[in-house]
Structure 1
Amino acid sequence: MKSPAFRIGDRVVLPPYGIGVVSGTCQRPVAGETHAYYQVEFPNTASRAYVPVNDPLSTGMRAALTTQDMPDLLCRLQTSMDLNLPRQWAARHRRVTEILVSGDPYELATLTCELRRWNIERGLPDLDRQAFRRAIRLLEQEVRGLEEDTYTRDVRQFLDHAWNETPS
């Protein structure tokens, strides 16, 4: 599998740090050898990460969602896909943590949809509510800064509504 090539200015996601922007490449010595790295800056922070140019996938770095991805994301948010979260808390917590750490936007959307359904039906226990809000925040990060169109606006409205919803 070929590693993706990123350019200066590309929006990327680096789990668990979130959305960053490739600000350039640099050479850094590691164990006596010089390697090329992408320099990723994270907006509104002084944080910076260095990701190997030859294998950015090993760190989980991927291209951030674009406006073209919004219809699929909105569909995932609105369509209750069967996630089969375990009912036992410890097993459910492990699975939810895996999804949050992965940063995969489509899995996050599926998790958000499932936890939203649970919240509406019966309310969420505190740790599930925290996971629900974390999933929403991660999705909001990806959508923030995208060109405004109908789907992007619908995704934002869905996430805002889900954040403020209370159990029936």
Structure 2
Amino acid sequence: MTQTADQPAFQPGDRVVLPPYGLGTVQGTCHRPMDGETQAYYQVEFANTSSRAFVPVAAPDGTGMRAALTARDMPALLASLKTSTLNLPRQWAARHRRVTEILASGDPFELAVLTCELRRWNVQRGLPDLDRQALRRAIRLLEQEVRGLDDQAAEHVQLILTTAWNEAPQVTAPAAS
């Protein structure tokens, strides 16, 4: 969305994502004092909580706030969930650092790539607890954005996320002697 001096980038009712809080809705703008001056802020509220955030109208991208995904984004998101690969470090500390960066960014396409890779690891050999928690966090963040979109591709994304949430590692039976 393009912002002009007269027109804020976001309007009341717009779905937005504010990392690390997730999906919210712009309720409007308000003015609040800051450093002796009155500044304009978006008031963002988050469903099913009493949480709200105030984001500067002059620089919403400085906080990471962005427009939520739309139905037009679903084909690309679906492709990322199905076929992406991510070269995650095998060493836990380095992997944890990279996974934490992706989760904190809130970028849905990075989250989809992470979900795809961790899902593959989970099916192949199972995930350690912290990696499983990361997979579930990525799934929850993606589900928030996709929920409420009335689109066939969005429904397919939801199905993949639900399947990934419930998958267990494949267990191979020992060979008989």
**TM-score between both structures, scaled by the size of structure 2:** 0.91
User: Pick from 89, 109, 113: which aligns with 1:110?
Assistant: 113
Q: Which amino acid aligns with 1:33?
A: E
Q: Does 1:85 align with 2:88?
A: yes
Tell me what 2:62 maps to. Answer: 58
Structure 2: how far apart are the matches of 1:30 and 1:151? 44
What SS does the aligned partner of 1:5 have?
A: coil
Q: Which residue of 1 aligns with 2:25?
A: 21
Q: Distance in 2 between matches of 1:84 and 1:162?
A: 19
> Residues 94-132 of structure 1: CA distance to partner in whole angstroms, max 9, x if unpaired?
000000000000000000000001011100000000000
Post-superposition Cα deviations, 1:37-77, rounded to whole Å, max 9, x if no partner, equal: 00001111111100000100010000000111111100000
Kindly, what percent of the aligned residue pairs are identical? 73
Match of 2:175 in 1: none
Query: For residues 1-168 of structure 1, what are the structure 2 equivalents within 5 Å?
Result: 5-81=9-85, 83-147=86-150, 149-168=151-170
Q: CA RMSD in A?
A: 1.1
SS in 2 for 1:166: coil
The alpha carbon displacement at 1:80 in A equals 2.6
| 4+ residue runs over 3 A deviation | none
The aligned length equals: 165
Which structure has the larger Rg? Answer: 2
Q: Which consecutive unaligned segments of at least 5 residues does structure 1 have? A: none
For structure 2, list consecutive stretches of 5 or more residues without a partner in the other structure. Answer: 171-177
